Structure 1
């Protein structure tokens, strides 16, 4: 399983964050929660997203999609604001045709909220960070 390295938003220390793990990642230096972003595909989605203990924001996107590139910073902001409470999983639709078919992805970006492996909310299109955060919080609250 692939891991990413990111700087802690609190202290700046670089941390390795795995795509899948129990619990939520925290900084090895200051022990603050880290924003958790991972990529998943047809072969890794179950482990990375569906088995996550945290609620998961799934972003179905493509390299060539302008609105997908526009929503990425907003999703990263939500992931950082809600570090330790949600996980952001990015799925490239061009590399994951089975997931696109399974979830009937017709437009991108399409965002899904998953809680305990179940899809609890879905929306298409880009939106600003404050609107996406409200959508995520509402979905998590409704299925806590």
Structure 2
């Protein structure tokens, strides 16, 4: 059976999980928190790096800021998308006011922006607020495109 590395959304420890166990609500071996909590994890710059580079799962990131109206409008939709995409995709949020270096390094020019990372590399990006169904559809399309080019 294949094993995957999954980063805990609570303590940010990398866990080894059998692929077959992803759908069984696995817990973190370190903190015992649920690896898939049903809502996106809010990450700092360091945590963002850990999640995108150490997880074998695709990571969908919502770059946002608390003062941004469209970001606040999209937040519930992004959380709803978690229910459909997890556990095969990890959904996380990065506050660009708190993690300015990440936003600058990735050239995030407008928010909200979602970006999909696979194997530590950004494979797709979309700016602007989206509904939950559109987030899911866009993510699945990008995953299908990314797997055909690998």
**TM-score scaled by structure 2?**
0.74
Length, aligned pairs only: 127
- For the aligned residues, what is the CA RMSD? 2.3
What is the CA–CA distance in structure 2 between the aligned matches of 1:91 and 1:43, rounded to whole Å?
11
Partner of 1:21: 14
Q: Which is helix-richer, 1 or 2?
A: 2
With over 3 angstroms needed to count, the CA separation of the structure-2 counterparts of 1:39 and 1:50, relative to structure 1, is farther
Partner of 1:118: 121
Q: Is the 8 A contact 1:35 1:87 kept in 2?
A: no
Which stretch has the larger CA shift, 33-42 or 105-114?
Answer: 33-42
Q: Is the 8 A contact 2:59 2:118 kept in 1?
A: yes
User: Is residue 94 of structure 1 aligned with residue 94 of structure 2?
Assistant: no
Residue 18 of structure 1, CA deviation: 4.3
**TM-score scaled by structure 1?**
0.77
Counterpart among 63, 68, 82 of residue 65 in structure 1: 68
Partner of 1:54: 57
What is the CA–CA distance in structure 1 between the aligned matches of 2:54 and 2:145, rounded to whole Å?
19
1:62-91 CA distances to partner (integer Å, 9 max, x unpaired)? 111111011111111111112211111111
Q: Is the 8 A contact 1:60 1:90 kept in 2?
A: yes
Residue 44 of structure 1, CA deviation: 2.1
Q: Which runs of 5+ in 2 are unaligned?
A: 1-7, 28-33
